[in-house]
Amino acid sequence: MKAWMEKRILLDNVGVIDPERIEDYLERGGYEGLKAALRRTPADVVAELKESGLRGRGGAGFPTGLKWEFVLKSRAKTRYVVCNADEGEPGTFKDRVLMEGDPHRLIEGMAICGYAVGARRGFIYVRGEYALSIRRLERAIAQARAHGFLGRKILGTDFSFDIEVRAGAGAYVCGEETALLESMEGKRGWPRIRPPSPRTKASAGNPRW
């Protein structure tokens, strides 16, 4: 491989597969990560994630494995996975490219997260102007359900998890994680005072991620 060559990982499928066909995603190894995760314990999945060094893309580059570990170890009974796809920053389109071009990758990642942290419900809070992202995500979620990758007893295991898409209404501040949670709960999108962090107390007092 030459120095100028790009090895795409996250965007590997974008522009290559038809994002409206789950079969295309499956042909390129889609949902194999979820199957592999379900064969292991949640703690093992989190440990591997920590080792991988994966970091958040929301701006702060926070280690994803640590974030998941906080939730896995929390004492809360009900946990949620909330994906911040508000993408309000002018000129930013990293999330849109992924949601429009490879929506199943996001869904698979959220299902793995749900398994690892012990959540049964996930939400994708999408910028309201991203009509195509919303349409493709909803179609992909329906396909994933039909294939047993979402819903009750996923792939014959005891793990149940489902995802809902929520559209934002165009407020930049709702991309801030605590304002996002307020907005998702139908309240005014104002940031919350911290502590507590959403890792320990998010929607209706339950943690996210």
182: contact with ligand FMN by CB under 6 A: no
**Could you count the other beta carbons within 10 Å of the beta carbon of residue 19?**
25
Burial group, residue 107, by CB count within 10 angstroms (0-12, 13-18, 19+) = buried
Taking the complex as a whole, the smallest distance from the CB of residue 124 to ligand FMN amounts, in Å, to: 12
| C-alpha distance across the termini of the chain, in Å | 36
- Closer of 84 and 133 to ligand FMN (Cβ): 84
Looking at residues 55 to 114 of the shown chain, list those that interact with ligand FMN (rule: CB under 6 A): 56-60, 62, 84, 86-89
177: contact with ligand FMN by CB under 6 A: yes
The single residue listed with the structure tokens 């795409």 is: 8
Contact 105, 124 (CB under 8 A): no
Pick from 163, 204, 206, 197: which is nearest to 182 by CA? 204
Looking at residues 34 to 63 of the shown chain, list those that interact with ligand FMN (rule: CB under 6 A): 56-60, 62
Q: 3-class DSSP state for residue 107?
A: helix
Q: 3-class DSSP state for residue 183?
A: helix
Taking the complex as a whole, the smallest distance from the CB of residue 113 to ligand FMN amounts, in Å, to: 11
Taking the complex as a whole, the smallest distance from the CB of residue 61 to ligand FMN amounts, in Å, to: 7
User: In the 8-state DSSP scheme, what is residue 35?
Assistant: H
Query: Contact letters (x/-) for ligand FMN, 134-173, by CB under 6 A?
Result: ---------------------------------------x
- Closer of 73 and 94 to ligand FMN (Cβ): 94
Taking the complex as a whole, the smallest distance from the CB of residue 173 to ligand FMN amounts, in Å, to: 5
Which residues contribute to the site for ligand FMN (CB under 6 A)? Answer: 56-60, 62, 84, 86-89, 173, 175-177
